[in-house]
Amino acid sequence: MRDLFDGDIVDQRDVQLAPGAMLLAGFARPLEGALIDAVNAIIARAPFRHLFTPGGHRMSVAMTNCGRVGWVSDRTGYRYDPIDPVGGHPWPQMPAVFADLAARAAAKAGFADFRPDACLINRYEPGAKLSLHQDKDELDFNAPIVSVSLGLPATFLFGGLNRSDKTVRYRLIHGDVVAWGGPARLAYHGVMPLAEGEHPLLGSQRINLTFRKTR
């Protein structure tokens, strides 16, 4: 079988990945301080944890959430839940700086009036990766996905509507935002294993904020 991670690395700025999908170069960079402060406040209340897939596989990416609901995974399946299963309390509220950034990025990519109700916060350390997948646990596929990269660079994989479609690799750096929806809403995507490195603000990690409208 062909390696699904094949493809040339694309290192362009403000590029259309596919109809309905845009990479917005450095869009979040002016807000880096406020975003990092907000992440630190969230993880003080809902710490990062490594979830397990329904098949029992421990995810290499650590995560937490903020917003009305959070995405969780365990042996019973994938789902959104208003309660943090670790802390037993509601997830932290989504900071205004998060919601505003997500709405502005979505609008620039062609999706007006985006109002996310969930933000998945992923922490990648060297070696962590995210296999090709579709974001399909939401009830509203009319809303886009908005993904913000902070910290170490990552190689982002973006493909088509079938797992077997060719993927293209894009290098995402601190402050880059990717937004996809419309005909690209269910595109397969993933992240290659994170390379070693040191970011001046976040050290040897990458933080990814993924905004979604779940209903």
- Does 4 reside within a domain? no
- Does 2 reside within a domain? no
Say yes or no to pLDDT of 197 above 60: yes
Structure tokens at 110: 């062609």
- Does 162 reside within a domain? yes
Read off the pLDDT of residues 13-63 as tens digits, 9 standing for 90 and up: 789 999 999 999 999 999 999 999 999 999 999 999 999 999 999 999 999
- Does 193 reside within a domain? yes
Read off the pLDDT of residues 55-104 as tens digits, 9 standing for 90 and up: 999 999 999 999 999 999 998 999 999 999 999 999 999 999 999 999 99
Residues of the domain holding 71: 9-212
Say yes or no to pLDDT of 150 above 60: yes
Output the domain CATH number for residue 19. Answer: 2.60.120.590
d(CA 152, CA 180): 22
- Does 169 reside within a domain? yes
- Report which secondary-structure segment, H or E, holds 40: helix 32-45
- How many CA within 13 A on the CB side of residue 126? 7
- Does 46 reside within a domain? yes
User: Coil, strand, or helix at residue 104?
Assistant: helix
d(CA 210, CA 121): 7
Structure pTM?
0.93
- Does 135 reside within a domain? yes
Of the candidates 118, 122, 98, which has an alpha carbon nearest to the alpha carbon of residue 48? 122
| Contact in structure between 111 and 141 (CB atoms under 8 Å) | no
| Domains in the chain, number | 1
d(CA 196, CA 187): 28
Question: 199 - beta bridge partners?
Answer: 203
- Does 111 reside within a domain? yes
